[in-house]
Amino acid sequence: MITGKKVIASNLTSTYATNDPSWLMNASDDDIVTVVYTCTDPSHANWGILGWGASVDNTWQNGDNYSAASNATEEVTKVYTVKELKNTLNIKTNSSVTYLCLSVWNGGKIVSLSIASTDGETPEPTVAPTEAPTVAPTVAPTEAPTAAPTIAPTVAPTVAPTAAPTTAPTTTPAGDSKVTGSVKLTSNWGSGGIAQITLTNETGVSYTNGWTVEFTLDREITSMWSGECVSLGNNRYRVSNPGWDGNWAAGKTMTLNCGVGAGSDSPVITDIVMK
C-alpha cells in the first residue's frame, strides 16, 4: 500500500499491458482511475486511438475506447471510479483477470494512467507493466489503426461517415479443418477501419497449449490485438493465440479484433484452416 496517487504508466506511445493487474483488482470501488491521453499525429483528429481490453475468466473483454480530440494533439482526460472501470470490462467481484491492457494505435499516446485512493491509500502494482504481444503492421500505420487491441475499438472517427456494422455470411472452409468464421466492421472510415473476426472451433479437438489458424480476408489486416498475426501475402494471414491465452475448446467461439485497410463495407473471410 502507498499513500496518495500512484502513476501506473506515463508517456507511452505503445500499448500498456500487464499480467498482474493487482493495482486494479485490489483497489477499493471508490478509488479513482485517471487516463490522460493525446495523439502524436495532428492529422488524426477524432480518430480512435486507445482502447481497454482484458482477459477475464478466460474470455476476452473489450472496454471503453477513446478518440483523439478535434485538435488531435490536445490532451484529453477520462476519469473513472475503480468500480466503473471494472464494469466496462465485465470484471466481477470474484473474476480472475490474467491480462489487462490499454491498447494504443493511430498515433495515440498515454500521457498518464494513474490511480488515487479516496482515503489516501492506493494499491501498488507488484510487477512492472509489460508490453502486449504485438505483430508489426503489414503497412505503414499512417492511415489504418495499429492495436488493442481490442479492444476492440467501437467508436468510428467522425471525419468520414461510418457504415453500419455488417456481418458477412458464416463461411465453412474447404477440407477437414472444420473452423467456421464471419467478420463484421465495428468502425469504418474509408481509408481503414476496425474489424471483428469470429471463429468457431468445430474440429472436435480442444486446444490447451496454443493454436494457429490460417484464412483469407478481402481487406488487408494492418494490426491485431487479440492474437499474433503474420501476413502470408495476397490477403492470406496466419494467426496464433495471444501470449496470455492458449486455450480454444471444441465448440467454442473466439473473437479476433484487428485494424484493416480500405476495402469492402462487407468483408468476407474464406479458406479457414487449422495449422
**pLDDT over 80 (residue 163):** no
- Same domain flag for 185 and 240: yes
The mean pLDDT value for 194-210 works out to 93
- Same domain flag for 147 and 107: no
Q: What sign for the dihedral angle of Cα 87, 35, 243, 186?
A: positive
- Same domain flag for 156 and 260: yes
Instruction: Using the 3D structure, point to which of 90, 122, 154 is the last residue of a domain.
Output: 122
The tens digit of pLDDT for each residue in 69-115 reads 889 899 999 889 889 999 999 999 899 999 999 998 888 999 999 99
- Same domain flag for 93 and 180: no
- Same domain flag for 139 and 101: no
**pLDDT over 60 (residue 154):** no
Number of domains in the chain: 2
User: Does a structural domain hold residue 128?
Assistant: no
User: Does a structural domain hold residue 112?
Assistant: yes
Q: Cβ(171)–Cβ(190) under 8 Å?
A: no
How much is the pLDDT for 119? 66
User: Does a structural domain hold residue 127?
Assistant: no
Which 3-state string (H, E, C) describes the chain? CEEEEEEEEEEECCCEEECCCHHHHCCCCCCEEEEEEEECCCCCCCCEEEEEEEEECCEEEEEEEEECCCCCCCCEEEEEEHHHHHHHCCCCCCCCEEEEEEEECCCEEEEEEEEEEEEEEECCCCCCCCCCCCCCCCCCCCCCCCCECECCCCCCCCCCCCCCCCECCCECCCCCCCEEEEEEEEEECCCEEEEEEEEEECCCCCECCCCEEEEEECCCEEEECCCEEEEEECCEEEEECCCCCCCECCCCEEEEEEEEECCCCCCCEEEEEEC
- Same domain flag for 16 and 51: yes
**pLDDT over 60 (residue 129):** no
**pLDDT over 80 (residue 166):** no
- Same domain flag for 99 and 191: no
- Same domain flag for 269 and 140: yes
- Same domain flag for 115 and 141: no
Q: Cβ(42)–Cβ(73) under 8 Å?
A: yes
How far, in Å, CA of 273 to CA of 250, rounded? Answer: 15
List the CATH number of the domain containing 107: 2.60.120
Q: Structural domain of residue 34, as residue ranges?
A: 2-122
Q: Cβ(93)–Cβ(28) under 8 Å?
A: no
Task: Give the predicted TM-score (pTM) of the model.
Answer: 0.51
